[in-house]
Chain A
């Protein structure tokens, strides 16, 4: 199993001013993934880790774009949620369950609960103002940089859907992916232990 030290490269020794580039200057100074442990599938792939690191923020931003633009263009809460959860799935594929756990904003069931709270809150909120359930309202504001921007109450509802979808996928991934991985690790540890005991028993006295 690899340790984080492998990634950091040797210390910078060649700063003596001999004109040559410092030794190990091309070694990366940071790990690509936050935990840097073995992924779930096969050996580590630097390519995948780099891609994940570069892509994940972009994917998340894109998912928010889809969520916001869903009012007028293809997108919406469901699709946005799927895209956002794909970012986490990519993180899991690249770095395994510890990496997934490190990157999760909150526990999947908390996400689900928050999403349900937002969705049902938007559903009942109009009742407080004497309207019917789930009635929507929109507001157009002129903002300095963005120009005319439309805010619709649907967006809040869609945000709830977004969070629920992310929560669903994360809970499925952590149940079917991470949990199984953990069990495999446990089984491996048990085998290891059994082998050690055998060795101790059979060893010379």
Chain B
């Protein structure tokens, strides 16, 4: 099947877009339309098969050893999401071509990341493997971070981007743990298998589900993790329309809906989903009602709708599943249409503030008509898709329908649902009035007429919502396809405009009237909102948490990174004594280690007297180094000691080691001499009194520890040395120098790692030393003649820069 290639096409087009935007400007977005449009067409072509219960699948092996494969499976739920992600996505990309101006900064990056995001989102909704899902999921988090922070010169944008990333990606990690748990106890990482045969008896299953729900809630901005979504509105409006209306935030809803057929009956799934969904609906609706910025109003409205979606997706009955698809499609259509409308208004009038807009509706009647249509769909007015979805949603919790809940709980949820829907109607009317109404107290806003192609996108999406609402049987098969995954309860429910005089219709009428009254009495409502106590703000909680992390990090850093080398060394040595040192003393005390020489074995002082001479040299230079007050002699003494140790290597028959040590000693000495030029001649402060005694004690203890443990360890050999096995291997490899054969052949991967470290260290040293100046020393290896010239020029330059300055001073 084509889907993996379509996802790859997104990536390819994303790469192409950067140079294309440079050449064509915003018009290149037309090219960005291609992958999502093709995907949507592909999905539509397969739709009849898919809704008939024959999902399209494909699999590509990726990491077979870890059970990670790129498995794709498009069923009815995925079909609905693909139509939103790709269909609405294509429309929004086309809109971008008109929205952005040619001079927009970083437009190529924006276009490229937007298409990448679309591809990642497509992966999220179509993959059938938990790990692949996680990878795509985090890809959407990262790309949305880049999109929200598009205007990276604004501190607000950067902060909002980080906030969104920390929340969605951070809570993605517990979700990964949940995935692994679920896959382990379920015996498969394939979602379709897990859902078909859930490991219901396992005690760890609820833990896994709660962890997964945490990630899904964070992504779908459920209260109290909803704070990042309004903050993310700093992104350009088309980005908001796509990420925060059509696609990314629905990722969490999608995951809940994906797992619901298998796990909705497991405690505490339903309790969590209903509680948080309801809470989010009410909080979002309440806060949307008092926003002045149209975009923020829509953002809080989205939060509220996401609560509704989560609640429906998690309930896990066929009616709820039907309602989920209805509301999902309706919301994707009307919310993106509204966001795009706000984009047009913002673009043409320069403001999004309700308090500053007046008379826009009269100037832009077509746009106003479309937006009011979309807002009506949001409010749940017939004959729009929003009404169809809302009817179905109400139906789920009516007493006559089996919702899998206790009657009291169902009644409570229904009450909450009705209340939140009243708020929805309230803010929908407020949006339409705020954006297009003519207000007596506000001066009319100058509006320039938008290009037809620009306004076409919101109009098209709004009309699509009307069409789908008027012809609900076009959408119903998708809903039925998804609902078929659940145990049938009671009589089937279809998405339709007219179900007869049902209780749901009565509730809808009640909601509409109450919502209209809420708008009518908006002054009183505003007063009530002002009078309400300020609840603890979730966003403040986030900042408190981040601040606390900073404070702790700073304290720890201040404690550990004092900037004093003796302190660092002291910490290392004390750790050495406290951990292995204590262990050694305990082992010696309990007699666990064999002490060589104690059992009558002869203790040899040296093999040849030469060793004694070298040892004496080492001891004398070591003592002299410690007593030396000047830096340069101390350095020389230390290198002399190093040469002494190299001598020991020679005496023990290790010429390779000795050679290397001598060379390294020489080089470090020379390089340290370079550094010494910058340092004072003598050591500045030397410890006195107790500090000195403590230092001496510590050093003596560490020295003793090292000596004793070396003595014990060399005697503790119980197996044959590994080096004897290397001799035949070296002959096989055709070399005689064992040390080098080990370095370059047997353990060449280690050596490779080490040289990578060397290269990194070289780059780091150079950049750290050169950090203070941007200019690098002229190392362009000029010939000797040029060099002299360069020198003369330099001298002249110094003179030239000196003279004018002097003249300037004189006049």
Name A residues whose Cβ lies closer than 8 Å to a Cβ of B: 3-4, 34-37, 40, 70-79, 82-83, 85-86, 89, 93, 97-98, 101-102, 104, 107-109, 112, 115-116, 119-120, 123, 133-134, 136, 138, 140, 150, 152, 154, 157-158, 160-161, 164-165, 167-169, 171-180, 182, 189, 192-193, 196-197, 200-201
Contacts and interface: CB of A to CB of B under 8 A. Distances in A.
Contact of B762 (A3, A102, A112, A180): A112
Nearest to A178: B777
A197 B667 contact: no
Interface of B: 655-656, 659-660, 663-664, 666-667, 670-671, 674-675, 677-678, 733-737, 739-741, 743-745, 748-749, 751-752, 755-756, 758-759, 761-763, 765-766, 769-770, 777-784, 787-788, 791, 794, 798, 801-802, 805-806, 809-810
A74 B656 contact: yes
Contacts of A160: 755
B791 A168 contact: no
**Secondary structure at chain B's binding surface: helix, strand, loop or mixed?**
helix
B756 A138 contact: no
Contacts of B806: 196-197, 200-201
B759 A112 contact: yes
A186 B735 CA distance: 52
B737 A161 contact: no
A169 B755 contact: no
Contacts of B794: 189
> Which of A37, A74, A77, A201 has the largest number of chain B CB atoms within 10 A?
A74
B769 to A, nearest CB: 4
> Which of B656, B663, B756, B779 has the largest number of chain A CB atoms within 10 A?
B779
B801 A101 contact: no
25 contacts: A4-B788, A37-B791, A75-B659, A85-B667, A101-B778, A107-B779, A109-B762, A109-B763, A116-B755, A123-B752, A134-B752, A154-B745, A154-B748, A157-B752, A161-B755, A168-B762, A171-B765, A175-B765, A176-B671, A178-B779, A179-B769, A180-B677, A180-B678, A193-B802, A200-B810
A182 B745 CA distance: 42
B757 to A, nearest CB: 10
A76 B737 contact: yes
Contacts of B678: 180
A35 to B, nearest CB: 5
Contact of B655 (A74, A86, A89): A74
Contacts of A174: 766, 777, 779
Contacts of B780: 101
B777 A138 contact: no
A179 B770 contact: yes
B802 A196 contact: yes
Given A72-B735, A76-B737, A134-B752, A168 B759 contact: yes
> Which of B667, B677, B740, B755 has the largest number of chain A CB atoms within 10 A?
B755
A161 B794 CA distance: 38
A84 to B, nearest CB: 10
Which 9 residue pairs are nearest across A and B when measured between Cβ atoms?
A82-B663, A175-B769, A200-B806, A72-B736, A168-B762, A177-B674, A138-B734, A76-B740, A74-B655
Contact of B766 (A72, A74, A109): A109
